[in-house]
Amino acid sequence: MSDPVLDVRGLAYAYPDGHQALYGVNLHVHRGERVALLGPNGAGKTTLVLHLNGILTAGAGSVAVSGLPVAKENLQEVRRRVGVVFQDPDDQLFMPSVRADVEFGPANLGLRGAELERRVVDALDRVGMVDFIDRPPHHLSFGQRRRVAVATVLAMEPEVLVLDEPSSNLDPASRRELADIIRSLDVTVLMVTHDLPYAYELCPRSVVLSDGVVVADGTTRDVLTDDALMAAHRLELPFGFDPRTIPAP
Amino acid sequence: MGASHGHHLHFHGHSPVHHLPAHTKIVALVTFVLVVVATPRQHAWAFAVYAVLLLGVVGLAGLPFGHIARRMVVEVPFVVFAALLPFVASGPRVPVGPLSLSEPGLWASWALLAKGTLGVLASLTLAATTEPRDLLAGLERLRLPQQLVQIFGFMVRYLEVVTGELTRMRIARESRGFQARSVRSWPALASTVGALFIRSYERGERIHLAMLSRGYTGRLPVTHTLTASSAQWRLAAALPTAALVTLAVAVAL
């Protein structure tokens, strides 16, 4: 069997101020999976994400991406393989035009000319934003900026797409459009979210992180219908949403 | 917020001036301003020629008079200073109407006004015919250090984000009944500025993380190099060359 795309073993991390965020996290994500990473605020989800592409360095344990250990000498390749889309598109889009922003990642990988142009147009096409290629990002709507943020990472042709709160602040139509885009991508997805219906709609599997450890790992339906687990980790379904009455998508 | 397209200094158009590559226009602007500044102030007619040349460029660019005139307001502090000079400067005095004014002061005032106005008008013409991001590309093409270009770039990109944040904070403040009436409201305003600073600083850190995540290694990749044909260079050189000829004639006479 091939190496998992994401292979996190016994990962522990404490911030420089002494606050320990992760206490031995184990997580394996295989090619083609879409996995939701759930957990209350302060559970360590963002800290975990920042380890996946080597922004933070493990205090103990290891992280490997398709067999390649996340270590200083591999950082550039690790960051190509793991595409992180941050929550606020204004943090991700910092160049004066959409084109320059989408170019930024692949250009850092050394691409130029026709190949670079192909990557940019292709990535924007996959999120339906090709027509906006020469616009400045700050003139786009929030939903459009989020889609361009996804494109900036897709242009690097990552092996796994990590989305931090992809549905936050989106209106229902933008939320649905983004779901269609995520479903259409032929890429492994790890999605950090508080939006449980979104997780249920998009991710067959869910992992619950709470107080720095993985407390549940199973089908999203099983996780969301385990009332004791949900209550113990401050996870709540929105009013009127009952996964028991909805067939798994 | 997102409704206004383009920067408020920029005036959308398709004139030959708009289409010139940014770096040729920057070189033209700097040369023109240097020529203006180098012109001895007693050659008043030379300044008139400069003004006519520059207005010709404004006309060629199809910029509406009102657009430029409103933005000339930025010069007001200099105008006030120039207007004060004849009163406060020393030296021999000449009677002007009921007033007795300093002659060197009048000359200094004239020079400041003439050179300042031409400089501001030329800069506004560049700003009105060039998108901010093209200006950045032009500066980069002219080998301005990358760090400076990056700082300008981030400023252009985040100005609206930060002013948007400031506006939201003001609305939130006023929604709780705050009105900046007296000195006593200064602490609230100061903490707004402080909060904005912290937020911007934290945003800077998040942006840096996002950049690292896409393989940033300290240099922005250069993907497109601006090029200008010799015809474009000649067109851009027309204004500073005409100004330079004017200066030569003025000095020779």
Residues A27-61: pLDDT tens digits? 999 999 999 999 999 899 999 999 999 989 999 99
Reported as a single tens digit per residue, the pLDDT across B64-99 is 989 999 999 999 999 999 989 888 888 888 888 788
What's the pLDDT band for A131 if we cut at 50, 70, 90? very high
State yes or no: pLDDT of B24 exceeds 80: yes
State yes or no: pLDDT of B63 exceeds 80: yes
- 3-state SS string for B33-80: HHHHHHCCCCCHHHHHHHHHHHHHHHHHCCCCHHHHHHHHHHHHHHHH
Nearest CB partner across the interface for A116, out of B153, B216, B223? B223
pLDDT at A1: 55
pTM recorded for the entire structure: 0.80
What's the pLDDT band for B3 if we cut at 50, 70, 90? very low
Question: Which residue from A minimizes the CA distance to B133?
Answer: A96
Tell me the torsion sign for CA atoms A138, A140, A141, A145.
negative
In the three-class reduction of DSSP (H, G, I as helix; E, B as strand; rest coil), residue A36 is classed as strand
What's the pLDDT band for B179 if we cut at 50, 70, 90? confident
| ipTM (interface pTM) | 0.80
Mean local confidence (pLDDT), A124-135: 95
What's the pLDDT band for A80 if we cut at 50, 70, 90? very high
CA distances from A27 to A4, A15, A37, A82 (A): 10, 21, 10, 15
What's the pLDDT band for A241 if we cut at 50, 70, 90? very high
pLDDT at A47: 93
Rounded to 5 degrees, what are φ and ψ at B205? -65, -40
State yes or no: pLDDT of B4 exceeds 50: no
Mean local confidence (pLDDT), A142-169: 95
CB < 8 Å to B203, chain A: 88, 90-91
State yes or no: pLDDT of B45 exceeds 80: yes
pLDDT at B7: 56
Mean local confidence (pLDDT), A104-109: 90
CA distances from B61 to B51, B207, B244 (A): 15, 37, 21
C-alpha to C-alpha distance for B223 and A110, rounded to whole angstroms:
10
Q: List chain B domain ranges.
A: 16-137+227-252, 144-212
Burial degree of A212 (CB within 10 A; 0-12, 13-18, 19+): buried
Higher local confidence (pLDDT), A139 or A117: A117
Mean local confidence (pLDDT), B47-73: 93
State yes or no: pLDDT of B2 exceeds 60: no
CB < 8 Å to A82, chain B: 213
C-alpha to C-alpha distance for B103 and B114, rounded to whole angstroms:
17
**Chain pair A-B, CB pairs under 8 angstroms:** 86
Q: Which of residues 187-246 of B touch A (CB under 8 A)?
A: 203, 206-207, 209-217, 220-221, 223
pLDDT at B6: 46
